[in-house]
Amino acid sequence: MFDLATVFEFTRDTVIFTVGLTAVLASLGVILCSSPIYCALYLISHMICLALLFLLYNAEFLAVVQIIVYAGAVMILFLFIIALLGGKKEVQELTFERSIAVAFIFTLLGELYLSATVGPTKQIEGKINPEIFGTAKAIGLELYSKHLVAFELASALLLVAAVGVICLAKFSFAPLKRR
């Protein structure tokens, strides 16, 4: 009656379901909340939920990276900009074009839901050592062998972005007068 494996599985499923639902609700919060600060906070909680989901789907390295990169850096930047530019509440108004677009999105959503009913994908067997699946080591081994080109391209992209940001954001105020 009480099989330990079943209970464990059930618990895991419950956790995944709850976290997933929270993630969806948080994302709803992002688009429905009128104050940008709260939007950002909802997005942060969404990111954290996703990180937990990553952890539950055996991607512990990516979960940590998700928190470090998204929650630790990207969202801080968002908050920084909000503080700098002001987080004025915005008035929502739904124009005709917008409603059309939203309707289109909902159609898309329906289609995607339909596609979810397609049967499960088959596992690829025996390629990965399950011991280290999802750890930094596994990711590293994979990244530096099979996906080296993508990795290099990504690093080049980062470099370009860094240069671009400096060019963009370095507004030319008069050089600081050292009295």
Partner 1 sequence: MSVTEQGLLERDKDTMTLNMGPQHPSTHGVFRVILEMDGEVVKTAEPEIGYLHTGIEKTSENKRYVHVIPMTDRLDYLNPPGNNLAFCLSTEKLLGIEIPDRANALRVIMCELARIASHLVWLGTHALDIGAMTVFLYCWREREMILDLNEEISGVRMMTSYIRVGGVAKDATRSWLDGILDFIQYFPAKVDEYERLLTKNPIWLDRTQGIGSFTREEAINWSLSGPALRASGVNWDIRKSQPYSGYENYNFEVPVQNNGDIFDRYRVRIEEMRQSRSIIQQVLENLPGGPYKDPDNKVSLPARETLHTSMEALIHHFKLVSEGISVPKGETYVPIEGARGEVGFYIVSDGTNVPSRVKLRAPSFMAIPGMCKMMEGCYIADVVGIIGSIDIVMGEVDR
Partner 2 sequence: MDWVTKFLDELWDFIVQSLSDNVPLIVGSVKAIVIAVAVMSVVPGLVWLERRLMGRFQVRLGPNRVGPFGFGQPMADTIKLLFKESIIQSSADKFLFHLAPAVVVFTAIVAFAVIPFGAPFEVFGQNIELWGANVNSGILFVFAISGMGIYGMVIAGLSSNNKYSLMGGLRSSAQMISYELSLGLSALSIIVLTGSLSLMDMVVAQESVPFILIQPLAFLLFFIAGVAETNRAPFDLPEAEQELVAGFHTEYTGMKFAMFFMGEYINMVTMSALVTLLFLGGWNTYGIPIWPILAFAAKVVFLLCVFIWLRSTFPRIRYDRLMTFGWKVLLPLCLLNLLITGTLKVL
Partner 3 sequence: MGQEFVLLISSSVFCIGACGFIIRKNPLIMFMSVELMLNSVNFLLIAYSSFLNSLDGQIFALIIMTVAAAEVVVGLAIILTIFRTRQEMDVDHINALKG
**Binder of residue 149, out of partner 3, partner 2, partner 1, none (CB less than 5 to 8 A by kind):** none
Residue 73 CB, nearest approach to partner 1 (Å): 20
Is residue 139 within 8 A of residue 61, CB to CB? The reply is yes
Tell me which residue of 49, 41, 42, 60 sits closest to 20, measured CA to CA.
Answer: 49
8 binds partner 3 (CB under 8 A): no
Q: Which residues bind partner 2 (CB under 8 A)?
A: 1-2, 4, 7, 37, 41, 44, 60-61, 64-65, 67-68, 71-73, 75-77, 79-80, 82-84, 87, 135-136
**Binder of residue 178, out of partner 2, partner 1, partner 3, none (CB less than 5 to 8 A by kind):** partner 1
41 binds partner 3 (CB under 8 A): no
Residue 128 CB, nearest approach to partner 2 (Å): 16
Classify 86 as helix, strand or coil. Answer: coil
Give CA–CA dist 83/77, Å, rounded. 10
Give CA–CA dist 29/11, Å, rounded. 27
88 binds partner 1 (CB under 8 A): yes
Q: CA 4 → CA 11, 134, 142, distances in Å?
A: 10, 25, 35
Is residue 40 within 8 A of residue 31, CB to CB? The reply is no
117 binds partner 3 (CB under 8 A): yes
